Amino acid sequence: MSQAFTKAMARNIFYGGSVFFVLLFLALTFDTESAIPKRDNRQNLTETVAMGKRLWEVNNCIGCHTLLGEGAYFAPELGNAYQRLGGKEGIKAFIMSRPKAGIPGRRSMPQFNFDDEQLEALAEFLKYVSEIDAANWPPNIQG
């Protein structure tokens, strides 16, 4: 009762599998797109937050820090910096204090000489990021 594997059988498996995985991809895409408005924080997006994001990008903060798990693992995660540092004033004080290298192999944070408006924008941006539902990321308060 050995049956040969024919070209027609291979073609049917290929087409059936392709259709199945395309449908699976579409279903997962729909599920993700419907979940995004519940998880993001777009209602709190302001011009100040956008300015903070621009400062984040222009100063290449992601070159050392991670934000919601993305970026370099050289300096602490900043997705929860708002809670960890005690709000906007804590963030501003931390940036202005220019943290020194206290951990072997790490450098100190560069001096950016931000003005008050820029500090406020960065603090607002980090507050905005901390309010995104990131599925409990980072896993601990230290980042």
Instruction: Render each residue's pLDDT in the chain as its tens digit; 143 residues.
Output: 468 889 999 999 999 999 999 999 999 999 999 998 888 888 999 999 999 999 999 999 999 999 988 998 888 899 999 999 999 999 999 888 876 666 666 677 888 889 999 999 999 999 999 999 888 888 887 76
CA angle 66, 68, 73 (to 5 degrees): 25
Reply yes or no: is the peptide bond before residue 99 cis, omega within 30 of 0.
Answer: no
| Token pair listed for 56 | 């984040």
- Computed from CA positions of residues 36, 40, 43, 46, in that sequence, does the dihedral angle turn out positive or negative? negative
CB 143 within 8 A of CB 76: yes
Per-residue model confidence (pLDDT) at position 1: 47
pTM of the model: 0.76
Cα 48 from chain centre: 19
CB 49 within 8 A of CB 123: no
